Each structure stands twice: as structure tokens, then as C-alpha cells.
Structure 1
Amino acid sequence: MSDAGFRQGLEYLEAGQLKDAEEAFQSYLQEHPEDALGHNKLGVVYGRLQDMEKAKACFLKAIELDKNCIHAWNNLGNIARQDGELDQAIRYYQKAVDIDPINPIPAKNLRTVQRQAKWSFSRIKDLLGKNSD
């Protein structure tokens, strides 16, 4: 399978044909195991299939292959944020922003999770303060 395999995986992913996308990206990666973006996209497929363990493994593999894969850093931030690990999400998003400060997606995600973390801390502090009376 050539680069056409990657494009086919993208088409399946965009069409919501997740099992077909999974197969296409897996086949592509058999021939191109060092392609960080291929691993990232396979991780996106697993994320949409709600298999976060496999998704995270794919994103980590993408970063292992390319430390500057901002998409994988951003996607790891998304998983951490979804899991309520806001400090970890901030670190992942910050890494993506450090790599590409112009990319609006990780920058927006970073600002959002920073607000969430601040709100969560403030809210918990307020709740604890009210309960200590």
C-alpha cells in the first residue's frame, strides 16, 4: 500500500467508516512504520472508537518517531483533558504550542484547559471554604 493507502484511510475517517479507516491505516503502517502522521491518524481512529488506550499508544508512538508532531501532542492533551487530568493536558498542549506557536488549535485548547483548571481549583477552594465553617 502506498501513500494512496494513507489517503484512503483519511477518506474512510472523514466518512465515519472507522473500521475501514483502522484497516487502511494499519496496512499503511505495515509498509511505513516510521510515519508519525500515520500513527497519529490511527490514534484518531481509536479515539473515535472510544479505545483510549490504543489511541494514546498511537500518539506516543508518533511522538517517539517525531518529537515535533504537534497533532499527537494536541491529541494527548485531548485525552488527558477528557480524563480530567488538567495539569497533564496543559503540559501536552503547551508542548504543541511551543513547537508551533502559530497553530490556533493547540493554542485554543491550552487557553481553554487553563481556564478549566483555574475554575476547578477556585471552585474547589470555595467549596472547601464554605464547608469549613
Structure 2
Amino acid sequence: MQTIEHVIEQATDFLEQGQAKKAVEVLSRVQPQHENNDELIVLLAEALSENHQSRKALQLLETRAKSDQVGGELILALGDEYYAQDQLQAARDSYQRLVSDDEFGAEALVRLGLLSFSEQDYAAAERLFLQALEADGRCVAALNSLGDLCLEQNENAAAKAWYLKAIEADNEDVEAAGNLAELLYEEGQFPEAEHYARQALEQDQTYAPAWLTLGYLHLDQDQEREAARCFETFLRWEQSPAASDIIIEVKAVLGALRD
């Protein structure tokens, strides 16, 4: 009989391979016997959401969140699911439950900042990201978010500095390396951009934004075969509905390369 640890590992592998349906199947079989296992429930909710069962994912998280012994990881996941379903006040309420938590307070503050960011309240977003850093000076999510905030306001030098601080805090952070690669590409610093894109992929071969940056780097240098390979890999791993516009654009570029 499989241990719960093995089931979680197997489901995680399925999700990383883009097989959300299989992840749902293996987790659903054992979930009734592990109703208090927050790690399993969070993973099952993620799999359900990726399998286009967002309502069921939210119901699962809401049910568990009513427990007196629910963990911070699940509350964050609940807030994230509310956010994904545009229930912003419910998301804010969930994150607010954790702002004083020693372990999850910094992450909750970052999430609250991202809500303000999405509402274009940049001053509030910056204040919350900096509060997160006060709670945890090495909070990579806060450092990356400050970089994104600066980039949104065309403060490229400041954005670059925040991304570099994120890499300094965690040199295995995929998002910081990917963000920096994209920024350097936009500035025409191709060798440096390629360095950070490949650094991101060393940590996670499925990180689609880095493949996209590499694709455009090769395209701009007339390396069409390499560009096509990178774009194809990007399309393999990028499944988010939020990326629909860039997916259409990349498919059009690929079509032109094949003609």
C-alpha cells in the first residue's frame, strides 16, 4: 500500500508534467482518509483548479478552512483561489488572517500587496511589500514583487536591483532569474539575458517565461531553428488562461517561421 507521502509525490509529478487529471485521480482516492492533511488538500485543490474544476477546488478549501487546526499554507491557498476567481474581498480576508503569523505573515503581506497592485494602488502595494520585508528580510516573493512594481512604473534600474536582491536571497529562485532575463532582453543586453534565462531553466525546465525569452533572443539573432524550438517548448508548458494573448502571438510567430 502506498504511503501518503508517496501519493503526494506522485501527484506533484503529474502536475509538473501537466497531467492535472491524473493528479486529481490519485489524490481523490486517498483524500477521504486524510481529511486533516493540509498538504494533500492544498495539492488536490491545485490539481482540481488546473483540471478546470475551480468551484470544487474552492469548496474543498473552504470546508477545511473552517477547522480550528487549519494551517497557514491552506489559508494562503484559499486566498489564492478566491483571487483566481475574482473574489477579491474574500481573498483579502483570508490573507488578513495570517498577517501576524510568524511563519506565514510575510507571504500574506505580499499577497495583500499583490491585491493592491492589481487594483493599481501602487503606494499601498509598495507599503505592504516593504512590510513583508520587515517581517522577513529574505522574503523572495516581496523582493520580486517590488521589482515588478518598479517595472510597472518604468523604473527599470530599480526593478533590476530588486531582482538581483531576490537572487542574492535565493540563487535558485526561478522567478527572479526569469524576470531579470526578460528585463535585460528588453534593454538589448542579450548575453546577460540569456545567462539569467538559462539560470532559471537550470532550476525548472518547465518554467515557460524563460523559454519565451530565449525564443525571442534567438529570433532577434536570426537563429530561427533554435527560436522555433524554444517557442514550441514554451507552448508545451504555458497553460495559464492569463497567458492566452502571448500564446496566440507565439503561435503566429511559429507559423511564420515554418512557412
TM-score, normalized by the shorter chain, greater than 0.5: yes
In structure 2, give the amino acid aligned to 1:20: A
CA deviations over 1:78-133 (Å, ceiling 9, x no partner): 010110000000000000111111221110111221233457xxxxxxxxxxxxxx
Query: Superposition RMSD on alpha carbons, in Å?
Result: 2.2
Equivalent residue in structure 1 for 2:120, among 32, 50, 60 = 50
Please identify runs of 4+ aligned residues in structure 1 that moved more than 6 A.
Answer: none
- Could you tell me which residue of structure 1 aligns to residue 164 of structure 2? 94
- 1:8 equivalent to 2:78? Answer yes
Q: Partners in 2 of 1:33 and 1:13 — Cα distance?
A: 23
Gaps of 5+ in 1: 120-133
- 1:25 equivalent to 2:95? Answer yes
Range 71-80 or range 104-113, more displaced = 104-113
Q: Partners in 1 of 2:97 and 2:128 — Cα distance?
A: 14
Instruction: Give how far 1:76 is off.
Output: 0.4
Give the greater-gyration-radius structure (CA).
2
Q: Partners in 2 of 1:52 and 1:78 — Cα distance?
A: 11
Percent of residue pairs bearing the same amino acid type: 28
CA pair 88-18 structure 1, distance change in 2 beyond 3 A: same
Q: Partners in 2 of 1:90 and 1:6 — Cα distance?
A: 28
Contact 1:86 1:117 (8 Å CA) reproduced:
no
CA deviations over 1:49-77 (Å, ceiling 9, x no partner): 22111111111000111111001100000
Q: Partners in 1 of 2:141 and 2:98 — Cα distance?
A: 19
- Could you tell me which residue of structure 1 aligns to residue 153 of structure 2? 83
Q: Partners in 1 of 2:94 and 2:134 — Cα distance?
A: 22
Gaps of 5+ in 2: 1-67, 190-259
Q: Partners in 1 of 2:88 and 2:102 — Cα distance?
A: 20
Q: Partners in 2 of 1:85 and 1:40 — Cα distance?
A: 20
> TM-score normalised to the size of structure 2?
0.42
- Could you tell me which residue of structure 2 aligns to residue 127 of structure 1? none
Q: Partners in 2 of 1:75 and 1:6 — Cα distance?
A: 17
How many residue pairs get matched? 118
